[in-house]
Amino acid sequence: MTTTHEHPANPAAGDPDRPVGFGRIQRKEDPRFIRGKGRYIDDIVLPGMLHGAILRSPVAHARLVSIDISAAAAHPKVKAVVTGKDLEGLKLAWAPTLSADVQAVLATDKVRFQGQEVAFVVAEDRYAARDALELIEVEYDILPPVVNARRALDADAPVIRDDIEGRTDNRIFDWEMGDAGATDAVFARADVTVAQEMVYPRVHPAPMETCGAVADFDPIDGGLTLYETTQAPHAHRTLYAMVAGIPEHKIRVVSPDIGGGFGNKVGIYPGYILAVVGSILTGKPVKWVEDRSENLMSTSFARDYLMKGEIAATRDGKILAVRTSVLADHGAFNATAQPTKNPAGFFSIFTGSYDLEAAYCSVTGVYTNKAPGGVAYACSFRVTEAVYLVERMVDVLAAKLQMDPAELRLKNFIRPEQFPYKNKTGWEYDSGNYAPAMRLSMQLAGYEDLRREQAEKRERGELMGIGVSFFTETVGAGPRKHFDIVGLGMADGAELRVHPTGKAVVRLSVQSQGQGHETTFAQIVAEELGIPPEDIDVVHGDTDQTPFGLGTYGSRSTPVSGGAVALVARKVREKAKFIAAAMLETRAEDLEWEKGRWFVKGDPGAGRTIAEIALAAHGTLALPEGIDGNLDAEVTYDPPNLTFPFGAYICVVDVDPGTGRVKVRRFIAVDDCGTRINPMIIEGQVHGGLTDGVGMALMEIIEFDDDGNCLGGSFMDYLIPTAMEVPDWETGFTVTPSPHHPIGAKGIGESATVGSPPAIVNAVVDALAPFGVTHMDMPCTPARVWEAMQGRATPPV
């Protein structure tokens, strides 16, 4: 591994007198997890707690004729049965989504996707609740479904959302970015143009823990405590206050340990609201935990983008412009979790890592009779789709020009001196140094040797592919003037208290789903204050104990909340300076900071540590004017810009010519996420994302039949990589700090999920080049690869 700048790995490990900040340390959360003492949603048991279960639609599109709940209600263990009609009376039948649409909590008029919520049963135990679902009789009047997004705008397509007044078609939005005229002009004069249609299929984040909630409504004081699997506890609380009419100060949302999120746990699902309704109706706590099929069939899916990409270039491989049009399948309700002004998320970053003369994209979003969602699965608000598009297109161009794909990328990168770089769709990339990362990945891969090996193998009829991708991520939304979710600005808060003995607690508005926040954020405070991370408790996931903020998704924890934590620690440090000055009977401006203590300039012996200062702050010391008696601070951080991590990935595959089976032999990932807080955690985030990439590129897809039946509704059908499908990852890094982030960190959570699918598909297409294949869509399953080898590659939808 090479690097331009690196923090030493935990130089003071084991020495309690020497504080450490950044570096590899073990995680503070692990001791409970390795003992099985994590506390996940289904581990929460409250006295008298009842269990809820949801009856779901077996069909994709139908009018509700009747629901007979009498037999279920008569079940001896059933405490309540709720239908859409009951919710209408409570004005809770429809709930706002995170994209200014509404979603049925329980169907009242029609069902609009298979798996939609139709009725809710509350019973004494989970088995009885399931039994009672079988006793509910529902009569459906089947309607023709819209399954293929390409048919959604046909004149004779059934109107799915006839609940919305005046709606006569299935169009959700038309959105464009860039300059169409300028782009067309470049295409008209370019030496070379290439075009390719491609599908980013519908996939699902499928965290190992499904979604669930425990609602505990107190009828006496009108307070609601809601434990739920959420990546955004504060945003959820505010929305519940708006939806349910329970005053916000009476709502406490607790997000306990979360068994993986990946964007699946951002949205507000009907099940959460139904648990609350169940608790209000019965006066008891109600638990609802979905099963795996419910998770795969009804909660937030990802992608489902039908794209056309085009590149205009010179004969010698200078890329001039990129143009793209997209048909976006949002399912039956527009429930994507994304900033208000960005209906296609950050897809307009499809210009990638290249210096272009012009760019243009148009996106049309449509309703279909499928589960709602779209922004999930570590996608960075659709940077995933954008990176796939441009990185696949660069390879299509490389094939046309018969250029090496790595060389073609190197030729077109934004140059280091161009940063901060304003692209043609309005983004300002904060920092980047792309060529060294690309060259490092080639060096780690032994790129030249691989190409030689490939040539030899081709001679022998063996199918080996080498795929390259280079991505620029767009994370850390964001400046609140540009980005909000349902009107809530995308800022995050942090509160820091240093106790009298010098131990500290930092409270965050974001919530970990496995990313190791209890460690990383303690390390940030440690770095800033010079007290060891084990002396810093990180509190998160409970709205009663943490400041307001928008939560963890889109890789925003480090860029936004990490900034908040660094700044709150600096605020404490600054306050400590004035208290130290009083202690040392000197002026604050005469003090100098070294990690952990303020001392008198020129007299290093005369100093006070943070612990000494904390004790004095809470003690009897006469405090300077304007300094109150604590060592606490709070901030809300509104980042000035997003951050733009990047990386260079190389994938090596072998394809079995007899079966079409793809084996990922090697994967080399060079990432640059700016300042590295804990290299061990960073590596873990990258490994996980690369595995997602193998899943999406080779295995995962949520398909539907013509009637709208979901064909990916269990782990028997929705295939996720196991240890046998992935190689031992090879990672490297460069460090290009963000110039505007308080510690220069950029975020890493989703980089590999964004960057790896095109590298793998490019490798498969490269392997299939002897068959004349220039593109194939994901997932590259054996059957689909084999078809491509026969010249019959088809899109998956």
Helices 563-584 and 517-529: crossing angle in degrees, nearest 10, is 30
Alpha carbon 757 to its chain centroid, in Å, reads 16
- Residues numbered 522 to 561 that lie near another protein (CB under 8 A) are 534
Q: Is 179 in the site for another protein (CB under 8 A)?
A: no
Q: Which is nearer to another protein, 178 or 554 (CB)?
A: 554
Shortest CB 23 distance to another protein, Å: 13
- Encoded one letter per residue, x for contact with another protein by CB under 8 A and - for no contact, window 184-223 reads ----------------------xxxxx-------------
- Residues numbered 611 to 650 that lie near another protein (CB under 8 A) are none
Shortest CB 285 distance to another protein, Å: 15
Angle at 361 between CA 764 and CA 268, to 5 degrees: 85
Give CA–CA dist 8/618, Å, rounded: 34
Contacts (Cβ under 8 Å, ≥6 apart) of 359: 178, 179, 183, 321, 322, 323, 350, 351, 423, 424, 425
Q: Is 76 in the site for another protein (CB under 8 A)?
A: no
Q: Which is nearer to another protein, 58 or 260 (CB)?
A: 260
Q: Is 726 in the site for another protein (CB under 8 A)?
A: yes
Shortest CB 231 distance to another protein, Å: 12
Shortest CB 720 distance to another protein, Å: 5
758 burial (CB, 10 Å; 0-12 / 13-18 / 19+) is: buried
Over its C-alpha atoms, the chain yields an Rg (Å, rounded) of 27
Q: Which is nearer to another protein, 174 or 715 (CB)?
A: 715
Q: Where are the alpha helices (DSSP H) in 59-156?
A: 70-73, 84-90, 126-133
Q: Which is nearer to another protein, 409 or 517 (CB)?
A: 517
Map tokens 């046998």 to a residue: 724
Question: Given candidates 3, 12, 38, 446, which one binds another protein under the rule CB under 8 A?
Answer: 38
Contacts (Cβ under 8 Å, ≥6 apart) of 330: 172, 304, 336, 365, 366, 367, 368, 372, 373, 374
Candidates 496, 583, 591, 770; CA nearest to 788 is 770
Neighbours of 769 (CB within 10 A): 14
Question: Is the torsion defined by CA of 676, 681, 683, 687 positive or negative?
Answer: negative
Neighbours of 75 (CB within 10 A): 18
Q: Is 750 in the site for another protein (CB under 8 A)?
A: no
Q: Which is nearer to another protein, 43 or 574 (CB)?
A: 43
Q: Which is nearer to another protein, 38 or 479 (CB)?
A: 38
Shortest CB 526 distance to another protein, Å: 12
Q: Which stretch binds another protein (CB under 8 A): 25-33, 331-339, 558-566, 602-610?
A: 25-33
DSSP class of residue 533? G
Q: Which stretch binds another protein (CB under 8 A): 65-73, 132-140, 187-195, 719-727?
A: 719-727
Query: And the tokens for 161?
Result: 């959302």
Give CA–CA dist 60/370, Å, rounded: 7
Q: Which is nearer to another protein, 36 or 166 (CB)?
A: 36
369 phi, psi to nearest 5 deg: -85, 60
Q: Which is nearer to another protein, 5 or 127 (CB)?
A: 127
- Encoded one letter per residue, x for contact with another protein by CB under 8 A and - for no contact, window 488-517 reads -------------------------xxxx-
Query: And the tokens for 510?
Result: 């974001």
Question: Given candidates 259, 285, 744, 755, which one binds another protein under the rule CB under 8 A?
Answer: 259
H/E/C letters for each residue in 446-483? CHHHHHHHHHHHHHCCCEEEEEEEEEECCECCCCCCCC
Q: Which stretch binds another protein (CB under 8 A): 302-310, 317-325, 442-450, 721-729?
A: 721-729
Q: Which is nearer to another protein, 621 or 719 (CB)?
A: 719
DSSP class of residue 623? P
SS3 label, residue 494: strand
Q: Is 77 in the site for another protein (CB under 8 A)?
A: no
SS3 label, residue 78: strand
Shortest CB 726 distance to another protein, Å: 6
DSSP string, 298-331: HS-EEEEEEEEEEEEE-TTS-EEEEEEEEEEE--
- Residues numbered 646 to 705 that lie near another protein (CB under 8 A) are 680-681, 683-684, 686-691
Q: Which is nearer to another protein, 42 or 453 (CB)?
A: 42
Give the containing element (helix H, strand E) for 390.
Answer: helix 383-401
Shortest CB 255 distance to another protein, Å: 13
Q: Which amino acid is at 501?
A: T
Q: Which is nearer to another protein, 332 or 375 (CB)?
A: 375
Q: Which is nearer to another protein, 369 or 691 (CB)?
A: 691
Question: Given candidates 7, 22, 23, 29, which one binds another protein under the rule CB under 8 A?
Answer: 29
Shortest CB 59 distance to another protein, Å: 21
Q: Which is nearer to another protein, 259 or 742 (CB)?
A: 259
Shortest CB 293 distance to another protein, Å: 7
Helices 751-767 and 679-694: crossing angle in degrees, nearest 10, is 40
Question: Given candidates 70, 127, 139, 420, which one binds another protein under the rule CB under 8 A?
Answer: 127
Q: Which is nearer to another protein, 208 or 783 (CB)?
A: 208
Q: Which is nearer to another protein, 65 or 724 (CB)?
A: 724
HSE-up (13 A, CA, CB side) for residue 559: 35
Q: Which is nearer to another protein, 195 or 208 (CB)?
A: 208
Question: Given candidates 191, 715, 770, 783, which one binds another protein under the rule CB under 8 A?
Answer: 715
Give CA–CA dist 427/584, Å, rounded: 49
Query: And the tokens for 37?
Result: 């003492």
Map tokens 């900040």 to a residue: 21
Shortest CB 262 distance to another protein, Å: 7
- Residues numbered 265 to 294 that lie near another protein (CB under 8 A) are 291-293
Query: And the tokens for 411?
Result: 């030729």
Q: Which stretch binds another protein (CB under 8 A): 63-71, 145-153, 255-263, 471-479?
A: 255-263
Shortest CB 310 distance to another protein, Å: 34
Q: Which stretch binds another protein (CB under 8 A): 39-47, 170-178, 184-192, 446-454?
A: 39-47
- Residues numbered 360 to 389 that lie near another protein (CB under 8 A) are none
Measured between its terminal Cα atoms, the distance across the chain in Å is 41
Candidates 185, 173, 171, 483; CA nearest to 360 is 185
Alpha carbon 316 to its chain centroid, in Å, reads 38
Give CA–CA dist 787/797, Å, rounded: 15
Contacts (Cβ under 8 Å, ≥6 apart) of 443: none
Q: Is 404 in the site for another protein (CB under 8 A)?
A: no
Question: Given candidates 175, 187, 200, 262, which one binds another protein under the rule CB under 8 A?
Answer: 262
Question: Given candidates 4, 5, 11, 37, which one binds another protein under the rule CB under 8 A?
Answer: 37
Q: Which is nearer to another protein, 369 or 753 (CB)?
A: 753
Shortest CB 719 distance to another protein, Å: 9
Shortest CB 713 distance to another protein, Å: 10
Contacts (Cβ under 8 Å, ≥6 apart) of 270: 54, 95, 103, 104, 105, 106, 117
Size of the site for another protein (CB under 8 A): 59
Q: Which is nearer to another protein, 225 or 685 (CB)?
A: 685
Shortest CB 334 distance to another protein, Å: 26
Give CA–CA dist 448/63, Å, rounded: 61
Distances in Å between the alpha carbon of 282 and those of 226, 227, 296?
15, 17, 29
Binding residues for another protein, rule: CB under 8 A, are 25-40, 42-43, 45, 126-127, 206-210, 257-260, 262, 291-293, 513-516, 534, 680-681, 683-684, 686-691, 714-716, 720, 722-724, 726, 728-729
